[in-house]
């Protein structure tokens, strides 16, 4: 059959979930769909720290991208996209392969910059990709079964806090030697959050003897040691890098216009103004009307619009505008079955906060994992239009 056009998706991230669930619709209309991803699975970051803490098994928090694509008549290409040539409409892969597109959507996420690491002989784990947390979990189980170790976490924001809480939970759960856990937050711990959240997070750390070091920035990281700007050196058996993320470098490296965080500049249609056949969502875009926090919530909210606009771009019909919506619910998984919840003026911590997060996250995963079985057909709540879960 002669294809009417070729849709290419780079990355099977949070913003592509609805499009992935609707691949059969594209195929049935005569479009070819190719999805490029480094792994057969996409891991849901919201549950990553919980996986580290053994609340969840790796299978609970992942979505079988490759299987879902192939089952619906799409093509899954394992690999990493390294370059986009908008003139020739080609995506280049690390393997050297070229993939041609008519319409392209990129949801390649973000990464933790490694510029502070000058020597890595092992036992340094960045919080992204989420798969790394699985390796960290195995290593911590192995080391703490032998002796009391020292774990350093570089960064003082939510991911660092969640990692600390869930390392603590992991070791408590497996009843091994509890490590010394140190957070090196540089600036004030959880400094961009309101006082109430900061105090709750700090109180939980203090209760568990997790040390928080602030007022001194990390200058250099090598396996086993952390050197501070003040000149002080700290030893560490395991080091986590949780010092913030940057958008995927693919657009910058391809000469596609980017914002200050290297995210592709997109208009209200989640579309690159200079190359209107390129769309994107999640952490890798810079929404020029209203720069967005790099949280999964926005990636998830973008889903139905991205799916609609990709079909509209192929068919030459009307695009829909993305509305980022109001304040979002934020719940931190602090380990030990405890969370800190915040939305607008409501903030509270404790078991209920974690239960709410756990319920929302499990429901999200169940909905998308169902596509693995049914290939995107007749699954309530994953159509691209008017879907309440994405609001
Ligand atoms: C530890 C941690 C906990 C978090 N908890 C929460 C939370 O509870 N709630 C929340 O809202 N946000 C949370 N966040 C933020 C959240 O991770 C991001 O905002 C979210 O992952 C963005 O989704 P995404 O799909 O854009 O990117 P990602 O989830 O990073 O997905 C990108 C996908 O693209 C693939 N990919 C990457 N590069 C390429 C390439 N070159 N070629 C092809 N494919 C590629 C990756 O394999 C991946 O599957 C957390 C972040 C971290 C680090």
End-to-end Cα spacing for the chain: 38
Give the number of other Cβ atoms within 10 Å of residue 281's Cβ.
31
Q: Is the CB of 339 under 6 A from ligand 1?
A: no
Residue 190: per-residue pLDDT: 97
Q: Is the CB of 80 under 6 A from ligand 1?
A: yes
- pLDDT digit string (tens) for 325-352? 999 999 999 999 999 999 999 999 999 9
Residue 275 has pLDDT above 80, yes or no: yes
Query: What letters, b where the CB count within 10 A reaches 16 and e where it falls short, cover 370-389?
Result: bbeeebbeeeeebbbeebee
Instruction: Tell me which H or E stretch contains 9.
Output: strand 5-10
Per-domain residue ranges for the chain? 5-111+245-329+355-390, 117-241
- pLDDT digit string (tens) for 96-144? 999 999 999 999 999 999 999 999 999 999 999 999 999 999 999 999 9
Bridge partner residues of 6 (DSSP): 32
Q: Which fold has domain 5-111+245-329+355-390?
A: FAD/NAD(P)-binding domain (3.50.50)
* 113 Cα: distance to centroid of ligand 1 (angstroms): 14
Helices (H) and strands (E) in the chain, counts: 10, 26
* 286 Cα: distance to centroid of ligand 1 (angstroms): 15
Residue 378 has pLDDT above 50, yes or no: no
| Contact yes or no for 62/68 (Cβ under 8 A) | no
Q: What is the mean pLDDT of residues 61-73?
A: 94
Bridge partner residues of 34 (DSSP): 8, 75
Nearest to 266 by CA among 254, 281, 253: 281
* 242 Cα: distance to centroid of ligand 1 (angstroms): 14
Q: Is the CB of 51 under 6 A from ligand 1?
A: no
Two domains, one topology: 5-111+245-329+355-390 and 117-241: yes
Going by CA atoms, what residue is nearest to atom 5 of ligand 1? 46
Residue partners of 138: CB distance under 8 A and separation at least 6: none
Q: Report in angstroms the alpha-carbon separations of 354 from 197, 198, 337.
A: 14, 17, 6
Length, in residues, of the chain:
391
Going by CA atoms, what residue is nearest to atom 2 of ligand 1? 159
* Residue of 244, 287, 296 with the most ligand 1 atoms within 8 Å of its CB, for mutation: 296
* 109 Cα: distance to centroid of ligand 1 (angstroms): 5
User: Which of the four CATH numbers 1.10.10.10, 3.50.50.60, 3.40.50.300, 3.40.430.10 does domain 117-241 have?
Assistant: 3.50.50.60
Nearest to 91 by CA among 8, 191, 11, 32: 8
Taking the C-alpha atoms of residue 277 and residue 150, their distance in angstroms, rounded to an integer, is 50
Q: What is the mean pLDDT of residues 68-85?
A: 96
Q: Is the CB of 48 under 6 A from ligand 1?
A: yes
Residue 388: per-residue pLDDT: 32
Q: Is the CB of 308 under 6 A from ligand 1?
A: no
Going by CA atoms, what residue is nearest to atom 7 of ligand 1? 46
Q: Is the CB of 165 under 6 A from ligand 1?
A: no
List the strands of the sheet with 346-350, edge to edge.
330-333, 339-343, 346-350
Taking the C-alpha atoms of residue 273 and residue 295, their distance in angstroms, rounded to an integer, is 23
Nearest to 7 by CA among 308, 374, 321: 308
- pLDDT digit string (tens) for 276-321? 999 999 999 999 999 999 999 999 999 999 999 999 999 999 999 9
Q: Is the CB of 13 under 6 A from ligand 1?
A: yes
Q: Is the CB of 9 under 6 A from ligand 1?
A: no
Average pLDDT, the chain: 93
Residue 191: per-residue pLDDT: 95
Residue 367: band (very low, low, confident or very high) from pLDDT cuts 50, 70, 90 = confident
Q: Pairing relation of β-strands 110-111 and 117-119? A: unpaired
Q: Is the CB of 311 under 6 A from ligand 1?
A: no
Going by CA atoms, what residue is nearest to atom 29 of ligand 1? 13
Taking the C-alpha atoms of residue 197 and residue 187, their distance in angstroms, rounded to an integer, is 16
């Amino acid at each position: 059959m002669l294809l009417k056009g070729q849709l290419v998706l780079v990355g099977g991230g949070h913003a592509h979930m609805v499009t992935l669930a609707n691949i059969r619709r594209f195929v049935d209309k005569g479009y070819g769909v190719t999805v490029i991803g480094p792994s057969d699975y996409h891991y849901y970051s919201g549950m990553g720290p919980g996986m580290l803490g053994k609340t969840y098994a790796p299978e609970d928090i992942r979505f079988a991208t490759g299987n879902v694509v192939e089952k619906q008549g799409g093509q899954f290409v394992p690999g990493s996209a390294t370059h986009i040539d908008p003139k020739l409409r080609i995506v280049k892969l690390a393997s050297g392969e070229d993939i041609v597109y008519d319409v392209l959507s990129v949801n390649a996420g973000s990464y933790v910059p490694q510029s502070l690491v000058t020597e890595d002989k092992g036992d340094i784990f960045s919080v992204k990709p989420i798969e790394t947390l699985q390796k960290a979990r195995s290593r911590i189980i192995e080391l703490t079964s032998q002796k009391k170790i020292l774990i350093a976490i570089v960064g003082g924001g939510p991911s660092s806090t969640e990692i600390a809480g869930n390392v603590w939970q992991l070791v408590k759960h497996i009843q091994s030697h509890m490590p010394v856990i140190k957070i090196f937050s540089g600036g004030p711990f959880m400094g961009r959050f309101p006082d109430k959240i900061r105090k709750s997070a700090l109180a939980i750390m203090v209760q568990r003897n997790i040390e928080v070091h602030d007022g001194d920035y990390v200058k250099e990281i090598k396996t086993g040691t952390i050197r501070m700007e003040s000149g002080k050196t700290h030893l560490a058996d395991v080091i986590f890098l949780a010092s913030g993320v940057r958008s995927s470098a693919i657009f910058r490296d391809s000469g596609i216009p980017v914002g200050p965080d290297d995210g592709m500049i997109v208009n209200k249609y989640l579309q690159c103004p200079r190359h209107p056949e390129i769309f994107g969502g999640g952490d890798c875009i810079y929404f020029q009307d209203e720069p967005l926090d790099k949280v999964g919530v926005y990636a998830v909210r973008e889903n139905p619009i991205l799916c609609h606009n990709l079909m509209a771009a192929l068919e030459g019909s009307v695009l829909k505008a993305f509305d980022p919506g109001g304040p979002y619910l934020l719940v931190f998984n602090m380990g030990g079955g405890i969370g800190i919840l915040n939305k607008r003026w409501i903030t509270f911590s404790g078991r209920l906060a974690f239960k709410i997060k756990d319920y929302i996250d499990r429901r999200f995963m169940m909905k998308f994992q169902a596509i693995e079985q049914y290939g995107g057909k007749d699954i309530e709540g994953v159509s691209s239009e008017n879907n309440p879960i994405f609001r």
